[in-house]
Chain A
Amino acid sequence: MTAKVKKQYAIVGVGYTPQGRIPGRTSLSFHLEASANAIADAGLRASDIDGFISYRYFPASSSETALTPNHVAHALGLSPTYISQDAN
């Protein structure tokens, strides 16, 4: 695996959102904004994304459904070949 992974892959975009105390927003909305910004930062379009990892997460708030990767990918308009999640 060593030879195959080393210097073969790269981070090419980073997406930020407002951060701190930002009331009135859902967790999903932060996923969407950060993702859209990361895709644009890389110079890509959403349709280029064919793999999606929704980062491990804490319990959903009582006003939201659980942020499964399928849910986030669907809201982003993605239909990735592969999705995964590392839940904490």
Chain B
Amino acid sequence: MLESGLCNYVLISYGHSALSSDSMMQMLTDLSGDDAVFGHFGATGGYALAARRAMHTFGTGPETWKQIAMGQRQWADLNPQAVMHGKTMSSEDYDHSRWVVEPLRLLDNCLITDGGRAIVVTSLERARDLKQPPVVILGMGQHDQPAEIGQALTMDGPTGAKKAGEAALAMAGITLNDVDACQLYDCFTYTVEITLQDYGFFGPGEGKDWFQGGTIAPGGRMPVNTSGGQLSEAYFMGLTPLAEAAMQIMGRCGRRQLGPATGTREPRIVLCSDNGGILQSHSCIILGRS
């Protein structure tokens, strides 16, 4: 829209009374189609299918996902706006969390949130005259896996994240070593693992070691979802990660601000993701300072 010259200032908006209306339940309990006959329906069912397959093929599991759930909750505790702010999560809390669809527990699932989020995008030239420090788009990539998860030959990856990530890094002219933090679409804990794995942060199944010791948490070497993410801040689709990346790069994140305050690297380059369906479509965008 901007590149073609059709528009100068683009507004991107999301809003949903997801928790207080019947909208979300209409979708999640949609029992139409062949799958429902066999008891398979809803987003958690689809992701549970993928996560179970991944447990079998590359040995992931709850020990890895727990690190993701707890790490993001620590970030939420530094973010007063996060829905789960002040609700600390212990290892036992995770272990005792109820099943939604095995192998995914309640604390592997993202939040359902009333609220909205919006961003404005313009040219860097125009951005320089505006109020906030520009958050520059360094690279973008998209890739989709065409098959529905139940029929996908790539049920355990690679997801679209692999090619989308490669394209975005190539456009930005950087490698993963240049990335200071990630803001990822995290509908489930497993989504964070498979996304980072497909981007190449670690090999299949190596997440078990990679996440240990608070890698993604405050003080960690690769902070992920520093608002708390969709697991612990709020669910606004791709705008949860994008907005947080922008706010971090602008330096407006208060106690959770990346840099010396949280014992992390300065957020010069932040990698963001969004995905749709059940690991079916994927977008990667790399943002940085001007």
Question: Which residue numbers of A lie inside 8 Å of B, CB to CB?
Answer: 2, 4-35, 37-39, 41-44, 48-64, 67, 72, 78, 80-82, 84, 86, 88
Contact = CB atoms under 8 A, between A and B. Distances in A.
A32 B6 contact: no
B237 interface: yes
B84 to A, nearest CB: 9
B27 A58 contact: yes
Given A5-B171, A8-B123, A72 B113 contact: no
Interface string B80-123: 01010000000000000000000000000000011111111111
6 contacts: A5-B137, A14-B119, A27-B18, A42-B9, A42-B130, A44-B120
A44 B9 contact: yes
A56 B276 contact: yes
Contacts of A12: 120-122, 126-127, 130-132, 134-135
A38 B135 contact: no
Nearest to A43: B131
Contacts of A8: 3, 123-124, 137
A17 B117 contact: yes
B136 A10 contact: yes
A27 B234 CA distance: 15
Contact of A58 (B18, B117, B139): B18
A25 B15 CA distance: 10
A17 B15 contact: yes
Nearest to A2: B171
A31 B21 CA distance: 15
Q: Give the one of B10, B19, B134, B277 with max A CB within 10 A.
A: B10
B21 A27 contact: yes
A53 B12 contact: yes
Contact of A5 (B3, B20, B83): B3
Contacts of B134: 10-12
B17 to A, nearest CB: 5
B172 interface: yes
Contacts of A9: 2-3, 121-124, 136-137
